[in-house]
């Protein structure tokens, strides 16, 4: 058998997907010994312990434990871990998860889904194991989903020590005698994404806003007036901001001064018009706050019905009107003198049937951006919503 240098093998396998090309990776690791270890590193890079109930959750974690016991070197390859926390009435499953966590020393990205689980409902041993797990030196990305009443000191540690953090439908424990302490070391947090209940977390950590001192990328779902404090805390370093408006058609939001912000990304669900009438005013009213803005990206996120094969009803077609009686978007270059790129993205919930919808979108954008300067890049595109796109 020809001895192939490992560097060449790594280049060959670099772009292989462990899910799509799983069978190929398994076969080549059996046929050619030189490819065995590199292929295994790809195959076992991610591990997900998920399921709707114990009937399909428990077999998955038992297989993972058997693998860790029989071939411990394979668990050392696991860098990306996703777990659904078992409910309090499943003590045996909680113990299985505890045992598995002890066998995964090299995790870099950790997704914890609670499905409405309260932290206090977990066994004390599992709570301690999870907190210890968060101290792994290589763990830099943490995503918490639907977990309630996380202890405040735990949340303070998380915000101090994670590089990437996503908080979705998460709350902290309400206790008057609980005090979060942010140490004097420079926080590691660079990328933060927050959704429901994030205000309560930030209020609980106040005045320890130093955890935001190094954030360069921030995503806020359904921003409100209280988001100004969050933005103020990151203003000195923030370069990339994404705002997601899915339930508020008014788009009323005033940004604080963000002197270093170079990219603004807006995700908007249309209500009465494809290009929301409030959009020009939102951008114009915040122009002074964004002196360094270079890239503006606007995603118009359509409901499922606009991907349907059936013809659109008259009430649906009304959404494709251009902005009526509003300041034209062509004034954007004057409002943002450094703006060099503007992206308009029509996001379908599913793969669309036909091109009519996108054609109408292009027309609406062009009519509202008449006079766009030749030197600026105007990119009009379409895409399909990706699952778990919220998790970097």
Place of tokens 């950590």: 205
The span from the CA of 215 to the CA of 189, in Å, is: 6
| 371 falls within a domain | yes
332: domain range? 216-392
Q: What pLDDT was estimated at residue 147?
A: 93
Q: What pLDDT was estimated at residue 24?
A: 65
| 166 falls within a domain | no
For 76, other C-beta atoms within 10 Å of its C-beta total 15
The span from the CA of 271 to the CA of 179, in Å, is: 43
Across the chain, the runs of DSSP E, i.e. the strands, are 46-49, 80-84, 109-118, 141-148, 164-168, 191-194, 217-221, 240-245, 263-268, 295-301, 341-348, 377-384
| 272 falls within a domain | yes
The span from the CA of 269 to the CA of 250, in Å, is: 11
Q: What pLDDT was estimated at residue 212?
A: 86
| 16 falls within a domain | yes
Q: With CA atoms as reference, report the closest residue to 156 among 138, 140, 128, 179.
A: 179
Angle at 166 between CA 78 and CA 206, to 5 degrees: 130
Total structural domains within the chain: 2
| 344 falls within a domain | yes
The span from the CA of 288 to the CA of 336, in Å, is: 8
| 139 falls within a domain | no
Pair 154, 182: CB distance under 8 Å: no
| 346 falls within a domain | yes
| 25 falls within a domain | yes
Instruction: Give pLDDT < 50 ranges for the chain.
Output: 325-326
């Amino acid at each position: 058998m020809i001895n192939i240098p490992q560097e060449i093998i790594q280049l060959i396998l670099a772009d292989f997907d462990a899910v799509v090309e799983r069978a190929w990776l398994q076969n080549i690791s059996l046929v050619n010994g030189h490819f065995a270890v590199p292929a295994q590193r790809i195959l076992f890079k991610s591990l997900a312990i998920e399921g709707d109930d114990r009937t399909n959750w428990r077999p998955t974690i038992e297989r993972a434990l058997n693998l860790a016991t029989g071939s411990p070197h394979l668990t050392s390859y696991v860098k990306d871990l996703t777990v659904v926390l078992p409910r309090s009435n499943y003590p045996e499953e909680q113990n299985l998860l505890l045992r598995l966590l002890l066998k995964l020393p090299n995790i870099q990205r950790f997704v914890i889904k609670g499905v409405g689980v309260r932290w206090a409902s977990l066994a004390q041993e599992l709570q301690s194991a999870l907190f210890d797990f968060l101290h792994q030196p290589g763990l830099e990305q943490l995503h918490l989903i639907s977990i309630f009443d996380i202890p405040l000191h735990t949340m303070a540690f998380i915000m101090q020590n994670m590089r990437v953090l996503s908080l979705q439908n998460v709350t902290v424990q309400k206790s008057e005698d609980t005090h979060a302490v942010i140490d004097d070391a420079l926080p590691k947090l660079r990328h933060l994404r927050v959704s429901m209940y994030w205000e309560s977390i930030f209020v609980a950590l106040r005045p320890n806003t130093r955890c935001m001192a190094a954030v360069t990328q921030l995503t806020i779902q359904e921003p409100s007036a209280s988001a100004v404090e969050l933005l103020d805390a990151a203003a000195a370093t923030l370069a990339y901001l994404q705002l997601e408006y899915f339930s508020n058609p008014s788009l009323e939001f005033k940004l604080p001064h963000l002197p270093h912000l170079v990219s603004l990304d807006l995700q908007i669900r249309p209500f009465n018009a494809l290009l929301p009438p409030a959009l020009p005013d939102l951008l114009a009213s915040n122009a002074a706050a964004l002196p360094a803005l270079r890239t503006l990206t606007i995603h118009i996120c359509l409901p499922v019905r606009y991907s349907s094969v059936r013809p659109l009803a008259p009430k649906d077609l009304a959404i494709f009107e251009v902005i009526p009686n509003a300041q034209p978007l062509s004034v954007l270059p004057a409002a943002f003198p450094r703006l060099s790129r503007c992206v308009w993205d029509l996001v379908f919930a599913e793969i669309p049937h036909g091109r009519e919808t996108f054609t109408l979108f292009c027309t609406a954008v062009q009519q509202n951006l008449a006079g766009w300067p030749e030197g600026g890049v105007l990119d009009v595109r379409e895409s399909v919503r990706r699952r778990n796109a919220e998790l970097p």
